[in-house]
Amino acid sequence: MGVSKEEISKTIIELEKSFNERWSVGDNRGYLDGFAEEVSYFDPILENIVVGRDKVIAWIDSIYSNPHIVRSEYLNPQVHVSDSGDFAVLAYNLNTFVLDENGKEKQLRAWNATHGYRLIDNQWRIVHSNWAFAQTVTEKIAS
């Protein structure tokens, strides 16, 4: 019986969305509970990589505040699944929206997200998380 890469991709995307939805309403534990012990983590305000679940959780707890996100757009999701079916890389664009002072929706952030997932004890765990702003420069450069 072969690995169903399509089913694994669907599972990973649904899991990621569930983590994001919890984050959006003020519950960061979705992501934090999904981290593997050996997780490595980058975000746009970190100077260096953070490695280890406890250190990543401490970092996120130190900067997290309820973003009050009212809507998220998950764009261009791509999941690459290993032939063995126990590792997957998810990359996607995420646009988040909040309400402005007039109660109208406005975009809060545009992200590029990449997460490595590994199947550990029959649960998909994030072993690497990388968040980047979707656009940080206005000219096209390669270095």
**Cα 81 from Cα 140, distance rounded (Å):** 30
Structure tokens at 36: 């593997």
The partner residues of 115 in beta bridges, in order of sequence, read 90, 129
For 63-101, how does the pLDDT look when each residue is reduced to its tens digit (9 = 90+)?
999 989 999 999 999 999 999 999 999 999 999 999 999
pTM value is: 0.90
**Residue 109 above 70 pLDDT?**
yes
pLDDT at 1 over 80: no
Q: Mean of the pLDDT values across residues 19-28?
A: 93
Q: Which pLDDT band, with edges at 50, 70 and 90, does 142 fall under?
A: low
